[in-house]
Amino acid sequence: MEARKKRIEALDILRGFALFGVLLVNLTMMHTSRTGFSVSRMGLEGINHLSALGIEVFFQGKFYTIFSILFGLGFFLFMNRKGKDIQSPEALKPFFIRRMLALLFFGLLHMVFVWHGDILHVYALIGLVLLWRKEKTEEDLLRGVLIWLLIAAFITGVLNALIEVPILFHAMVTSEMSPYADSVYSGGSYWELLRFRLVHEVQNAPVDLVFILPKILGLFYLGFYLGRKKLFENLKDHRGTLLKTLRYSAAISLIMILGLLFFRPYTGGENPYYTFAFLEGIFRETLTLSGSAFYISGLLLLLGKTPWKKILNPLKYLGKTALSNYLIQTLFWSWVFNGYGLGFYGRLPYWSFFPLATAFFILQILLSKWWLSRWKTGPMEALWRRFTYGT
């Protein structure tokens, strides 16, 4: 099967940009099992506290959100391809199913043998839901975006409030599981870590999927809607919309940040403030969405300016090989942190994550450019295509 495929360069640049944020946040998650707590519960001080707070406010959740929107947009583009062997979107359904099953296979291997924080299997499973609910009007899509994201925000608020329940808070803080996890990750062999992951982490994947499904599905719908509106194909025509999005998202983000700073002293302590904790969760989830909108609209506006487009253009090499580079990131850094590798688990200061991520990211850009000068696509992208089309 041959389909005419025209890449949208802005998408590749945005995808490459998002990969940096994913790398930075994943470093904090690989660094210690305790980063599930907010900064107030991590016991950090000075520059490390400020660094962790900066990552939490400006990066955490924002970039996998961007990837999720781009995935929904990619679904739209995939199901609306044209070619001599394609008569209708129905003809593409079997290929999309195979594409998602291949992604699910990659994700499960990644989750079991490399890192429990895999997102690929989530995208694959929820992507199949998109195929089932594809035929929607634009109004239906926007309604679905609103409903699913409101549900996601409510879930986040409830979970944040539950952590304040004294018995649950003390169970999390004093649990023997955290020291046990730390010992396995910092000093265990690969096989000991694999056993720990299978027994204590992989089994939680279905529960995690249930909690994250509303948000990912809402973002997929948003991406599909943006695809129908051809936002990324006609940036000049949508400049006014992008400017409004940038302004409103910046204002909302600032309000959310101030709200989080206000609520933070009342959460994570011995005396529970359930309402404040619930609102903190709502604010954090809203900041995730508004921050993502700010980054997307801001970057797209910069691409309309020639000097900035030249500066941002190298990101397209990462965008074209995003799957390969995502897996390279987790393979390399899990080896750096875990005991079977260099054993830096829990030993690096938080202030070091940004320069480390930046240096590694630049290296990935250079290697991706070199690779694409010799091959048409990344190694995992080529394998994914073979699974999808058989060629």
Helix (H, G, I), strand (E, B) or coil at 381: helix
pLDDT on residue 5: 45
CA dihedral 374, 378, 381, 385 (to 10 degrees): 10
Q: Is residue 294 part of a domain?
A: no
d(CA 51, CA 347): 15
One-letter amino acid of 87: Q
Q: Is residue 298 part of a domain?
A: no
Q: Is residue 249 part of a domain?
A: no
Contact 252, 290 (CB under 8 A): yes
Q: Is residue 285 part of a domain?
A: no
pLDDT on residue 1: 41
Q: How many residues does the chain have?
A: 391
First-to-last C-alpha distance (Å) of the chain? 8
pLDDT on residue 233: 80
d(CA 69, CA 224): 8
Estimate the crossing angle of helix 205-228 against helix 138-162, to 10 degrees.
Answer: 150
pLDDT on residue 237: 86
Q: How many folded domains does the chain comprise?
A: 1
Q: Is residue 360 part of a domain?
A: yes
Q: 214: which 2 tokens?
A: 């509303």
Q: Is residue 284 part of a domain?
A: no
- Comparing CA positions, the residue from 252, 255, 239 lying closest to residue 298 is 239
In tens, the pLDDT along 133-145 reads 656 788 888 999 9
Q: Is residue 28 part of a domain?
A: yes
391 residues of the chain, pLDDT tens digit each: 433 345 789 999 999 999 999 999 999 999 886 555 555 556 678 899 899 889 989 999 999 999 999 999 998 888 877 554 555 667 788 899 999 999 999 999 999 999 999 999 999 999 988 877 656 788 888 999 999 999 999 999 988 887 766 555 555 544 556 778 888 999 999 999 999 999 888 888 888 888 999 999 999 999 999 998 888 887 888 899 999 999 999 999 999 999 988 877 766 655 667 788 888 889 999 999 999 999 999 999 999 898 999 999 999 999 999 999 999 999 999 999 999 999 999 899 999 999 999 999 999 999 999 999 999 999 999 999 999 988 7
Q: 10: which 2 tokens?
A: 């802005």
d(CA 182, CA 338): 10
Neighbour-count burial of 203, counting CB atoms closer than 10 A to its CB (0-12 exposed, 13-18 middle, 19+ buried): exposed
Quote the domain boundaries for residue 142: 9-237+312-389
pTM summary value: 0.91
In tens, the pLDDT along 182-233 reads 889 999 999 999 999 998 888 888 888 889 999 999 999 999 999 988 888 8
Helix (H, G, I), strand (E, B) or coil at 162: helix
Q: Is residue 117 part of a domain?
A: yes
d(CA 64, CA 290): 13
pLDDT on residue 137: 82
pLDDT on residue 2: 39
Q: 387: which 2 tokens?
A: 């699974």
Where b means 16+ CB within 10 Å and e means fewer, 294-324 reads: bbbbebbbebeeeeeeeebeebbbbbbbbbb
DSSP assignment string, 10-65: HHHHHHHHHHHHHHHHHHHHHH-GGGGS-GGGTT--HHHHHHHHHHHHHTTTHHHH
pLDDT on residue 4: 38
